[in-house]
Chains A and B, each alone.
Chain A
Amino acid sequence: MSPREDATRERLHDALRERHEEIADRWVRLQLEQTDAVDLDEGQLRTEAGQLLAALTDGLSGETPVRHLFASHRDLRACVMELSLHRARAGASPTDTSLAVLCLKEALLEAMQYTTRDTAELFAAAVLINRLLDTAGALSFETYVEGREEIIRRQSRQLLEVSTPVVRLWRHVLAVPLIGTLDTARTQVVMESVLQAIQEHEAQVAIIDITGVPAVDTAVAQHLMHTVNAVRLMGADCVISGIRPPIAQTIAQLGIDLSTILTKATLADALAAAVRITDEPMPGADAHLTAAAR
């Protein structure tokens, strides 16, 4: 590090300590001017600014080169990430989020103007501040993207769970009405929730109704076979209902062998078949009836 850079760093550090309030206030106002799309809570912004500037002051007093300061200083890094995540969740645009961090440059430079009038020194300060905050901008953008990805992942997971309800149709009979296109991820979720529900309800039969499924290809048929086999390994049975004529045709044309699986045209037929299967004497069946009648 050059002596000049050291001196500039020292000066910035002093400015931060002496004009802490001023810089924070200016930064918050700059942010409010720049981001009009989202209502940001001013109080929250002030808290963020206070924490970040405190961490920055601490970081500058250390030895870490400015270029790496935001990435390696624990508190500083946490501050930027939290600020960016907060905006990502609040629905701010990625540009606004990066700008929020980058406009701290302006606030810092303004503060430096009070410490010196020398052009060369001010230039050195500008270079230092740029180096310092460019990493912060990059970190902020990265965190923002990660935050949004996390939201998308969570939503698609929730959507998957919502779209595959397992309902108890009868004593020891479960039904899974499937609606919409089946892909690998969804079939996995179906398989897991069916098996889980079988264990929870001690179900004897699970009906998978595919009336609402537009098309069945080899992969989907394969997944259905897997589900049926796993259900059988657990000691229950599976009925597939709602195979519409075009799907029956596809299955025949693809040469998929579903002959080992009990299939029924409608959910009603499947339920009748399932009840017949479970009506065979069961352990404690009478006890169940009495319990239910009470």
Chain B
Amino acid sequence: MNAPRPSAVPILRLGDVLVTGLLNELDDTSALTFTDELTERIVADGARGVLIDVSRLDLIDSFVARTLTELATMARLLGARVIVAGMRPAVAITLVELGLQLKGVETALNAEQGMHALGWQQTARSPRGDAYDALR
């Protein structure tokens, strides 16, 4: 466990924020490897924030919920804030009915708002404004 295998989940660094996302095809072992790797990276990169995008997940069961809760707790102990972003409506409803609330885990509507909450500011030129306009 001292030298964790690289997990299947890519972890990117943007300034002092680590960005990563979970996929449906994550099995238990990979999830645990991912937890190890992420905590290592928080220390190694001196990250102050972690954004975990869950918008691709079409289900969060108690195992994934526990992984997320533990990650948030460990990250906090290491001085980083964890934000879970983009949870789908059906997943949120099911999670609540399952009796899980992800205590201590911060959430954001999408990755962008999550990044903002972590203090990661956009540059002066705002590509989003144009994109938003174009979508209208």
Contact = CB atoms under 8 A, between A and B. Distances in A.
Interface of A: 191-192, 195-196, 198-199, 202-204, 226, 229-236, 281-284, 286-288, 290-291, 294
B99 to A, nearest CB: 10
A11 B86 CA distance: 72
A281 B116 CA distance: 9
B69 interface: no
A262 B93 CA distance: 20
A173 to B, nearest CB: 13
B110 interface: yes
Contacts of B88: 199
B101 A233 contact: yes
B114 interface: yes
Contacts of A192: 89, 93
A235 B85 contact: yes
Contacts of A198: 89, 109
Contacts of A230: 89, 92-93, 95-96
Given A226-B96, A291-B133, A284 B126 contact: yes
Interface footprint category on B = 20 to 34
A234 B87 contact: yes
A224 to B, nearest CB: 12
Nearest to A291: B133
Given A283-B116, A284-B132, 7 more contacts: A235-B87, A235-B109, A235-B110, A283-B112, A283-B122, A284-B129, A291-B133
A217 to B, nearest CB: 19
Contacts of B91: 233
Interface in B80-108: 84-89, 91-93, 95-97, 101-102, 107-108
Contacts of A284: 112, 122, 126, 128-129, 132
Contacts of A195: 89, 92-93
B115 interface: yes
